[in-house]
Structure 1
Amino acid sequence: MATVPNRRATDEDGMIFMRRVLTLLALLLWAGGAPAQNATAPDTAAGGARATTLEDILARQKNRLKGTTQRLPDALREIEGRPVPLPDGDAGVPQLGTLGGASDPDLWRALKSGAQATPSSSTARGQLMQVLGEDWRLVRRQYLLRYGGYVLLGMAAIIVLFRLIRGKIAIRGGRSGRTIPRFSLSHRIAHWFLASVFILMGLSGLIILFGRPLLVEFLGRDLLVGRMGMDPSVIDTLKSVNSVLLSASLQGHNLFGPVFVLAWAIMVVRFMKGNFFQWADAKWILKGGGLLGGHASSHHYNFGEKTWYWMVVLIGLGMCATGLFLLFPMLSQTLVYHQAATLLHAIGAVLLIAVAMGHAYVGSIGMEGSIDSMLRGEVDENWAKEHHDLWYEEVTGKKADHANDPGGAEAQAEGAA
């Protein structure tokens, strides 16, 4: 009769077998590690590297360990000739950091503070990290884009309000049918040459400066997707459109930059005569150009036109200088100069574009008869007497009559008395 094996006895035999196997493995591991320990012991006894103890770590943490060889790299020991400040304690003995004597935050902090070394880029001038780029980016995004947009929108709002309140400035006595030469052909060519290039440069510059914030961020992300609930893929489409516009604007801006310099120089020389300030300009200011009542006399150019001319001269000079500097970056290897040039160039552009908007409005649809001077080179006599009476008297030898001006009859009577 067959016997059934005892299950409990079988389990005990298995446990005994496993104990023997584990015991054998432990003996083999101990036998293999003993020679290595014996081999390292003589080195330690002979004055080799001593194992780091808890006391050593605490001593280094308290800055009391002497003779340590862990130092900041030589390139980071000084920043612009000044030593890098070390923690309190023994001079030259840094505190224990996460990676030894100097931790990663210490190294990066020294780099961001302007540590000097020998970088691979020749434009860095020995500075390992160019941290002003972040400041430049913040100024451009948070101040230039915001307040530059406010200036342009504010000027547009002023023009609209002026049109609604004041309306078109008409010739009070109506057109006489008689004209006076005002600008020669060379004057008009110089004016329209600069105006056409300025419009091209202004539009391309605005796309470079405001293209992505308006097209992608405002129109795409905030308006179409955020408020109208359109598919987010429209943002990718607008990014592609902005890339095409930006590339074309940048190429055109760089191409016509030197042309703008030439047009600016011709305009400065051709229009300089008669644009120096005179005593009559102070009286023109006090009367607000005639808007505050009474007639505001002026010569060939009034105070507003002279101010616009000198803005074009001075700000335009800065625009030409910074533009050429950015167009030919090899003129300087100091990166901070290029960063400053981009900001100054953009600020000057915003100011000129804003004032040019007002100049274009008054010189075209805002004032009757004004555009004739730059289209035909002639103006109506009544327009000349009303806006440039002193120049009218110099050219014709006749006395300008202001009887049609508000308050002009009283002023003329007082002058006769």
Structure 2
Amino acid sequence: MRSMLRSLAAAFVVLVALGLAAPVMAQPAPPQPTAVNPTALSVNERQLMEQLRAGTPGTGTTVSGRGTIPNLDSQVLIQPQGQAWRVFHQGAMHWIAGIAILGMLALLALFYLVRGTIKVEKGLSGFKILRFSSFERLVHWMVAGCFIILGLSGLNVTVGKFLLLPLLGEDAFAVTAQWAKYAHNYLAWPFMLGLAVMFLTWVGHNIPSRVDLQWIRQGGGMLANGAHPPARKFNAGQKGIFWAVMIGGAALSLSGIYLLFPYTAGGVLALQFWNIVHGLAGVLLIAVILAHIYIGTLGMQGAAEAMTTGEVDLNWAKEHHSLWVQEEADKGKLHPHAVVHPAE
């Protein structure tokens, strides 16, 4: 009897379950889409920014998600400051680089057409005076060589995809950019070391003095043929180059270290700031170095020897660095037959 009652109860439960499930099973299956549009429900970025700005006045438009690690920066999904940085990097930065570098080249070309090569007025004497030691020239060329590669590889980051990519093609440009990146990262260290040694070696000769004011008033004797103003080992123009290299090099070094080790910069906003500093310092220093190269080669007769052989002609030294020549003569470092007449 108990067995029969259990069977009846089980049968009743099954019937009730089937009755409840029947309406659900009777519903037709939803129609399948004939085409998939993955962007149909996507959010327009500009519209999202405007809505966030309107809904949260004064709080910015940064959009954050959720994360499980302590680093809150990893949760940032949209950062509007990044949009501003991208606009600057891909727009204003190109204009600044073009104006600084191409403008300097244009000015130097115009100066050469008007002034030509600055000659040694009394001709070469045949006597030499040591201007830079082997160590000084080694440091100079180490910094110069590194800077040339760093400058070219840095410009590749800024304008390479617009200038080189169409010429080289995607594959060749990718390989070139990769090796340029390696060179930029590793040559930064000897560049910084050279800057430090250069500073310690020459800072004593590059302190501004009253003599520099006269040199500036006379335009260094380079604007027209005539007497050159007196100068010590470095004149006012060379001192300007020195401090531009030191200040610009320090800005490049500090910002470059932050870019190489981004976790030390203090966040994404700080990295964007140092990236801008690095780019601006780089293109402005390139423009300054172009003027330095011009004066040391095509622009002035006898100047290149200072950083090649280390010795310069005595007449050249008298015209451009008369006070320094007198100091060297007082130390007994001139040829005994050389006659010293400092320029007035």
Please tell me the TM-score bracket, short chain as reference: 0.7 to 0.9
1:299 corresponds to: 232
Moved over 3 A (4+): 103-112, 114-121, 125-128
- Kept in 1, the 8 Å contact 2:142–2:190? The answer is no
Partner SS state of residue 124, structure 1: helix
Q: Residue 356 of structure 1 corresponds to which residue in structure 2? A: 289
2:306 equivalent in structure 1: 373
Question: In the TM superposition, what whole-angstrom CA distance separates every residue of 1:50-79 from its partner, at most 9, and x where no partner exists?
Answer: xxxxxxxxxxxxxxxxxxxxxxxxxxxxxx
Match of 1:358, as an amino acid?
Answer: A
Structure 1 position 238, deviation (Å): 2.2
- SS in structure 2 of the partner of residue 170 of structure 1: coil
Aligned to 1:114: 62
Distance across 1 between alignment mates of 2:51 and 2:303 = 67
Asked whether the equivalents of residues 152 and 354 of structure 1 are also in contact (C-alpha less than 8 Å), the reply is yes
SS at match of 2:229: coil
Of 315, 322, 326, 1:393 maps to: 326
Aligned-partner residue type, residue 303 of structure 1: A
Q: Deviations over 1:110-164 (max 9, x none)?
A: 5962366755672527655311111000011221111211210011111211222
Which aligned pairs between 1:12-411 and structure 2 lie closer than 5 A? 106=51, 110=56, 113-114=61-62, 118-119=66-67, 122=71, 124=73, 127-216=76-165, 220=166, 238-290=169-221, 291=223, 294-397=227-330, 399-400=340-341, 402=343
Q: Give the conservation status (yes or no) of the 8 Å contact 1:392–1:400.
A: no
SS of alignment partner, residue 78 of structure 2: coil
- For 1:325, the aligned partner's letter is Y
Letter of the aligned partner of 1:296 in structure 2?
A: P
CA–CA distance in structure 2, aligned partners of residues 128 and 364 of structure 1: 52
For the 8 Å contact 2:296–2:304, the answer to whether it is kept is: yes
Normalization by structure 1: what TM-score?
Answer: 0.63
2:27 corresponds in structure 1 to: none
Contact 2:208 2:239 in 1 (8 A): yes
Specify every segment of 5 or more residues in structure 2 that has no aligned partner in the other structure, as ranges: 1-22, 24-46, 331-338
Judge conservation of contact 2:61–2:79 (CA < 8 Å) in 1: no
SS at match of 1:300: coil
Q: Which structure's CA Rg is the greater one? A: 1
Residue 116 and residue 384 in structure 1: after superposition, are their counterparts in 2 closer, same or farther (change >3 A)?
A: same
Are the structure 2 counterparts of residues 176 and 124 from structure 1 closer, same or farther at C-alpha, using a change threshold of 3 Å?
A: same
Residues 113, 169 of structure 1: alpha-carbon distance in 2 compared, 3 angstrom cutoff: same
Q: What is the CA–CA distance in structure 1 between the aligned matches of 2:241 and 2:138, rounded to whole Å?
A: 18
Q: State the 1:108 CA deviation.
A: 7.7
Partner amino acid, structure 2, of 1:341: W
Between Structure 1 and Structure 2, how many residues are aligned?
284
Contact 1:123–1:335 (CA under 8 A) maintained in structure 2: no
Residue 309 of structure 1: how far off its partner (Å) = 0.6
1:75-117: CA deviation from partner (whole Å, max 9, x where unpaired): xxxxxxxxxxxxxxxxxxxxxxxxxxxx977458659623667
Q: Which has the higher contact order (CA 8 A, sep 6+)?
A: 2
The C-alpha deviation readout for 1:160-192, integer Å capped at 9, x for no partner, is 112222111111111101111111111111111
What secondary structure is seen at the aligned counterpart in 1 of 2:129?
A: strand
CA drift of 1:294 comes to: 4.0
Give the aligned partner of residue 225 of structure 1: none
The CA deviation string for residues 373-393 of structure 1, in whole angstroms up to 9 with x for no partner, is 111221111001100011111
How far residue 241 of structure 1 moved from its aligned partner, in angstroms, is: 2.9
- TM score, norm. by length of structure 2: 0.76
Q: CA RMSD in A?
A: 2.5
* Structure 1 residue runs without a partner (length 5+): 1-35, 37-102, 221-234, 403-411, 413-417
**Cα distance, 1:123–1:250 mapped onto 2, change above 3 Å:** farther
Cα–Cα, structure 1 residues 245 and 125, in superposed 2: closer, same or farther, change >3 Å? closer
Q: Which amino acid aligns with 1:172?
A: E
Percent identity reads: 33
Q: Report the secondary structure of 1:271's partner residue.
A: helix
